[in-house]
Structure 1
Amino acid sequence: MTGITPLIDGYRRFKKTGWDDQRERWETLAKGQSPKIMIIACSDSRVDPATIFDVAPGQTFVVRNVAALVPPYETGGGFHGVSSAIEFAVTQLEVTDVLVLGHASCGGCKAALSRTFEGSDHGHGAFIDSWISMLADVRDEVIAEKGPDAGAEAVTEMEHRAVGVSLDNLKTFPFVQDRLDDGRLKLHGAWFGIAEGDLLVRDPETGAFNPA
């Protein structure tokens, strides 16, 4: 099988089972969506939120990008895909919870750890280098705390810190902060271990990640 043939085959299986068996549900979803949870996750092919959390279509509003990063609020020029998704979820869908999901073996976090962000290109590509520069400050913190040769331990710490960066950046959006202040919205962080299948949930007070 080549190209998208596996996808077409998968669609045919889905149409016979997942769609036909729940036709009524799909007809309801066709009229609109009303998820209460937004998930910001990594684009990594191994970390599918619907699979990890066993949720059905219509239950979560998901945006995925390299390292599950949220940029800080700004209204300058350019295209703001993640920011527009956050705005839509919070102000239009009125989600009550936003979860930032990091994960083990994150290529984006590993790439961020391997550079100094002093304008040099480390071969990741211009778009990737620009994107992961959001992790510059925590990268320096991790290096200072763990040392330059900490290896896998440093990468895991970067993955945890990246979740914190995204949560902090979410609070820079005025419409997010307004809803945090009046209790309409809550922010959460978590990290998924691919090999073990473990889910760690971030303590909002200490930043520590604990088993779910």
Structure 2
Amino acid sequence: MKTSRDTTLALTSDYKQFVTDLKSRIASARLSAARHVNRELVTLYWDIGQGIVERQKTLGWGESVVELVAADLKHAFPDMQGFSPQNVWRMRQLFLDHSSDDFLSQAVRELPKSNKHPFLRQPVADSPRDAGNRKSEVLSQAVRELVAAVPWGHHANVLAKLTAPAARLWYLRATASFGWSRNVLLNQIKAGAYERAVTEKKTHNF
């Protein structure tokens, strides 16, 4: 039960600032937790898609395996959403789209050559083949991390509609950098944000 003293305390500037700081901290923690959950979820979906694709190549499994995997996962985890046949097909496509030669070629030109992802920095002792394999592995991991930074709904409902690797990479990076919601991303695509950025870049190069 509140007393007059409690009411007086609630009106002080120190208390108001304290509560404001707490609200900000809670909101930040919730956002951080949501991002972590999303990253883990998209990484899981990537791994499922990769596993299906690799076994189709090495073991000769047909397309029906996607439906089988979806049914078995749904049976094993009935309370977990995301294992519909349509969604498992999207997981497979997610991996294929972002591991294709065209997409990786675009990524190696566009992604920052930082210490974290030193695509073009080869140890001198490596043979050309070893160096090439290492660069390919690092690049693939960097793409995987970028993909995981974008919510699954963005991938499934918006980015999947983009066929050009350069455009998909640009919107991936922008979404990860600016935290675009799905609606903002969709509006940016409709407004031709990527095309405008390319045009402006060409103009500035003259």
Give the TM-score of the pair, scaled to structure 1. 0.28
Judging by fraction of residues, say which structure has more strand.
1
Compare CA radii of gyration and give the structure with the larger one: 2
Judging by fraction of residues, say which structure has more helix.
2
Give the TM-score of the pair, scaled to structure 2. 0.29
